[in-house]
Amino acid sequence: MEPKQRRFSIRYTIVTIVAILLIESYLFAPRPESLAYSDFIRLLKAGKVSDLTLSKQAIQGTLAANGLEAFLPKEKVAELREAGKGSHQFVTTRVDDPELVHELEAANVRFTGTAENNWADLAGVVGGACHHLLRALELPDSKNGWCAGRSDVHRPEPSQGLRRARHRRDVRRRRRHR
């Protein structure tokens, strides 16, 4: 296998592996149950939530395994039962509630804050790194600086290259036979 083709294959192999890992992590990651904020407040007052993580936009935590029927709609309880036994992870959209921290402290619920994850910055860094990695794997081309990665892109035209090569060969043969 030519070095140019080997590098071409390695590059696409790396990109394919990364794509598969990203798709797998998205598809098979556990999904928290979505709750309405009003349901969250009722569950908080009843002592059915624990281990909360507060961010600017969401509240995540753990629901108790039993006794949710009195606080949640029947459909939501059925969804939780289908998801399995034991405690369940949940998420709710955070509402501007200045008394929330006081209510959490009064209910003696453990909670922490979290910094926002800025995916735009991360995507820019990863995109730039991938660009530089792919540029580093390309081979320089004598005509145009960089090749496009395909072996047939910059081949000389057969009419020019072969004619010149055959002409030079014929000239050398004639000189030898004189």
Q: Which pLDDT tens digits describe the chain residue by residue (178 residues)?
A: 455 555 557 888 888 899 988 888 777 766 777 888 888 888 888 888 888 898 888 899 888 877 777 778 788 777 777 777 777 788 888 888 888 888 888 888 888 888 776 666 667 777 777 777 777 666 554 444 444 455 544 555 556 667 777 888 888 888 887 7
The full set of domain ranges for the chain reads 31-120, 138-178
**Strand, helix or coil for residue 132:** helix
Residue 4: predicted pLDDT: 54
CATH architecture of the domain with range 31-120: 2-Layer Sandwich (3.30)
The count of other CB atoms within 10 Å of the CB of residue 8 is: 20
Residue 112, beta-bridge partner list:
53
The count of other CB atoms within 10 Å of the CB of residue 150 is: 10
